[in-house]
A and B are shown apart, each in its own frame.
Chain A
Amino acid sequence: MLAETQIQTDWETVCQLDDITPFTGVCALVGEIHIAIFRVSDDKLYAIQNYCPFGQASILSRGIVGTVGERIVVASPLYKQQYDLATGECLEDPETTLTTYAVRVHDGSVQILN
């Protein structure tokens, strides 16, 4: 019983899947953290920190999503650094890695593991 409650509180619903247009992102507030959530193709989601360390602004959810080779990336809308959505790694500067978050669709809701 206890374990189940645990799971329910850990996944926090932030919006509905329909709220995210395919191939774009949104920014969610989870606790104090700004998280960028991207919908790639119909149901594949990724979540990384919204703050771009190069641009020093909370804006990554507004970037263009695409691929470089096999990697799915978002380009920072400020200075165009690209980040691997799966790992958070910056392609231009592999020393820099963003925090990634677990995200899922549950009954049409988009949820982040808190």
Chain B
Amino acid sequence: MAQSKQKIIVVGNGMVGHKFIESLVTHEDASQYSITTFSEEPRLAYDRVQLSAYFSGSTVDDLMLTTPSYYDEHGVRYLVNEKVIGIDKDAKTITTSSGLVEPYDTLILATGSFPFVPPIPGKDQDHCLVYRTIEDLEAITASAAESEVGVVVGGGLLGLECANALHNLKLTSHVVEFAPQLMAVQIDEGGGALLRQKIEALGVSVHTGKNTSEIVAGTERRYRMNFADGSHLETDMIVFSAGIRPQDALAREFNLTLGERGGIVINDHCQTSDPSIYAIGECALWDNKIYGLVAPGYSMAKAAVAHITGGDVTFQGADMSTKLKLMGVDVGSIGDTHARTEGALTYTYFNQPEGVYKRLVVSSDQQTLLGAVLIGDTSDYGTLLPMMLEKMPLPEQPEVLILPAVEGADNALGVAALPDSAQVCSCHDVSKGDIAAAVADGACDVASLKSCTKAGTGCGGCVTMMGQVLNSELEKMGVEVNDHLCEHFAYSRQELFDIIRTKQIKTFADLIDQYGSGMGCMTCKPAVGSMLATYWNEYVLSDKHIHLQDTNDIFLANMQKDGTYSVVPRIAAGEITPQGLITLGEIGKKYDLYTKITGGQRIDFFGAQLHELPLIWQELTEAGFETGHAYGKSLRTVKSCVGSTWCRYGMLDSVSMAVLLEMRYKGLRSPHKLKMAVSGCTRECAEAQGKDIGVIATDKGWNLYVCGNGGMKPRHADLFATDLDDATLLQYIDRILMFYCRTADRLQRTSTWMDNMEGGLAYLKSVVIDDKLNIGEDLEADMARVIDTYECEWKKTLQSPERLKRFAHFINSDATDDSLAYEPDRGQNKARIASKSMAPPTDAERIPVTIAK
């Protein structure tokens, strides 16, 4: 008889509760447990760390960490809007707010924490809010709509994040802090002072050393905050962000041991004073410490899962160092930032003109690093953190670690010096050794490391370091670390693109003569052909370019498994007249072509023989159709929903925008194929967030998403910018696409391009929106040339009898390929050849090693 399953109840479905569940259901013994989770909030776990992104356009769906279907699939029972209010430790049951009583064998408390609101008279009025849940953010948004001035009480990490949100909501914003400086917990006084300067420069007023004594009705604004020093400040709304308190109410009421100042006491296995009850995350107190960050919570979740399943991982505390960007200001805080360790010595570097402050705290014998503060430039964070954690010996002159690199001097300690135990990704606890192992197993670019180790997929702060570890490991393994296109060119694709652009090279022959060797091959020829086409946009079948074209491009059609071709005319945005459909139907019938509607909202004809292509295209062109470039590594389709012209929900005319985009970018040859989509509202019927470029209408304009992908490795697109007008939307897309064409690797989709990009989305934004590289106009000009020189390749081909000669199976006979034969299936032709085992990917299909510089 099957043993009955062990019942596990998880109270709280926040970040850590979910992590626990996820780790348990993916454990090899998962089948022995039945899990139920209760959430007081109206939804399952979401990414609280990214909460502020909600203000910049992310939707609730974007923030979700899991879905009901994931839980269903793994047999996890979940009840939302259901608070647990009682525990009977003897009977081993819990009671919920709706009166449900549920038995447990093991109880997990993952109740998180709640915002601390100082006991100030007047704190409970309307427009006095907190910042922790999605509902809190909705309340803040609603309040901001009726306010002009906003105050955040608390100048810590969250407070500053919140002030930024108010600032972006166009309120005159203030931060009121009790301590004499900002971020007093994480950084020292000098760092705090520079941070303050930078934040004030952005237009947020900072008031330190202010103790609010009461909140009363204001004279000019809704409220007046009176401070203990006699001064005051008027405001319309107030958000309290004065720290968090562990949510330990259940433990308090039902007699689990608590710490003096709250928090549920746990041991190294995360067990509370009752061995069947565990506490994890921000509600737990370990070694008298509460951890207000998500990474330690995740480690606790793992330790609890290990203890329950008989594993041996324990919780051993966690480092609280952080690196973040606050209102565009880089801030890094490592270890003992205040030099509180006995005898600690400090080094400080302060570059006022550039706004950079760095401080090192070292042991009295100057042998080890104890802590560091970095403001304005956190590039050293990745090197300093492991030095502190691993107690690595300091260089002779520790100050070189923070001094700017001076020509000739090499002060960076390479990652090669780090021990395997050094943590690289703190969000997912991935060590240098884990990454090295993944590299040894064949992961050879940052994107694949991300997918197999999860490193770099949390806050993303460690991606640069991942790249460094990757390179050093590859070098160790004797892999030649180069990003050369192939044996014929000792340059990367990006370098070759720059050469073509700056040396104005127009043919493969000139390029290989001057910068390469040999004759070229199936790797470099199509790659160079594509770059020349992107930059010069010349006819790809001309004598000088034709030999560069791959299987499909060379006959402007897609070769199918039996050597016949498929034909796809452009149907921009999927919009077609009934007459157009009739014409297509007639052509399909006349040439006996298997006909199918594609995923990109167009019509695909299969089974055309080489000699038939010009005949078919002659008819298509006469009927007004253009080539659909289905054969090219180029823009395929811009999918659209019907949008505001017909749909009851449509915000803007998504079809017109999709037609505009498709007609603008058609013919653009790119490193890989490009797909776009435009949806008329957030219901997203066009699935734009799974496309390279996705556009979604809102009531204020267009939201632009980038680098999504469906297909083999789906990637949800990143929100790039919100509420754009038509002109800005096109400007951004021009720049993004051209930047992609210039910098991506061969056959790299935008999704992997983004995953491998140092600095990621923020970097792309800085290039495109802030024009940090000062190439914006250039990129636009390059795109304008492509748009201006567009010609339909089929139309041009039909005009050239010379070219048409190639479209015959035999050069010396009118006979056709007699090896072709079809069998009817569901009323249409089907290619005859039985399915064969596919050849393994060849070098040409593999993506080259990408080198992080």
Q: Which residues of A contact B812 (CB under 8 A)?
A: 14-15, 28-29
Contact A58 B550 (CB under 8 A): no
Contact B810 A64 (CB under 8 A): no
A82 to chain B, nearest CB (A): 7
A37 to chain B, nearest CB (A): 8
From A92, which residue of chain B is reached at the shortest CB distance? B842
From B815, which residue of chain A is reached at the shortest CB distance? A29
A53 to chain B, nearest CB (A): 11
From B832, which residue of chain A is reached at the shortest CB distance? A56
User: What 1/0 mask marks residues of chain A from 18 to 39 whose CB sits below 8 Å from any chain B CB?
Assistant: 0111111011110000100100
Among residues 542 to 570 in chain B, which have CB atoms less than 8 Å away from a CB atom of chain A? 543, 546-551, 554-555, 559, 561-563
Give complex CA distance A85, B549 in Å. Answer: 19
Q: Which residues of A contact B520 (CB under 8 A)?
A: 66-67
A-B CB contacts (within 8 Å), total count: 111
Give complex CA distance A34, B811 in Å. Answer: 10
From B517, which residue of chain A is reached at the shortest CB distance? A67
B808 to chain A, nearest CB (A): 9
Give complex CA distance A22, B521 in Å. Answer: 14
Task: Name A's interface SS.
Answer: strand
Among residues 44 to 86 in chain A, which have CB atoms less than 8 Å away from a CB atom of chain B? 51, 54-59, 62-69, 72-73, 75, 77-82
- A40 at interface (Cβ–Cβ under 8 A)? yes
Chain A, interface size: which category?
35 or more
Contact B839 A81 (CB under 8 A): yes
User: What 1/0 mask marks residues of chain B from 792 to 816 whose CB sits below 8 Å from any chain A CB?
Assistant: 0000000000000110011111010
Contact B563 A55 (CB under 8 A): yes
Task: Name B's interface SS.
Answer: loop
Partner of A79, one of B488, B524, B806, B839: B839
Most buried by A among B520, B548, B809, B845: B809
Most buried by B among A22, A69, A79: A79
Contact B487 A75 (CB under 8 A): no
Contact A54 B815 (CB under 8 A): no
Q: A15-B811, A57-B819 are in contact. Are A23 and B547 (CB under 8 A)?
A: yes
Give complex CA distance A18, B838 in Å. Answer: 37
A31 to chain B, nearest CB (A): 11
Most buried by A among B522, B526, B815: B522
Q: Which residues of B contact A64 (CB under 8 A)?
A: 521-522, 525-526, 547-550
B533 to chain A, nearest CB (A): 15
Q: Which residues of A contact B845 (CB under 8 A)?
A: 80
Q: Which residues of A contact B546 (CB under 8 A)?
A: 21, 24
Partner of A57, one of B524, B561, B810: B561
Q: Which residues of B contact A21 (CB under 8 A)?
A: 543, 546-547, 806
User: What 1/0 mask marks residues of chain B from 445 to 476 whose CB sits below 8 Å from any chain A CB?
Assistant: 00000000000000000000000000000000
Q: A24-B546, A67-B518 are in contact. Are A80 and B844 (CB under 8 A)?
A: yes
Most buried by A among B548, B812, B813: B812
Give complex CA distance A19, B836 in Å. Answer: 35
Most buried by A among B549, B810, B819, B839: B810
From B809, which residue of chain A is reached at the shortest CB distance? A27
Partner of A58, one of B521, B526, B543, B563: B563
From B525, which residue of chain A is reached at the shortest CB distance? A64
- B519 at interface (Cβ–Cβ under 8 A)? yes
Q: Which residues of A contact B513 (CB under 8 A)?
A: none
- B49 at interface (Cβ–Cβ under 8 A)? no
Q: Which residues of A contact B815 (CB under 8 A)?
A: 29
Contact A69 B487 (CB under 8 A): yes
Q: Which residues of A contact B839 (CB under 8 A)?
A: 54, 79-81, 92
Give complex CA distance A19, B559 in Å. Answer: 23
From A18, which residue of chain B is reached at the shortest CB distance? B802
Give complex CA distance A55, B563 in Å. Answer: 9
In order of increasing CB-CB distance, the 5 nearest A-B pairs are: A66-B521, A23-B547, A57-B563, A77-B551, A75-B522
Listed A/B pairs (10) with beta-carbon separation below 8 Å: A19-B805, A22-B547, A23-B519, A57-B563, A63-B522, A66-B518, A66-B521, A72-B519, A77-B550, A78-B559
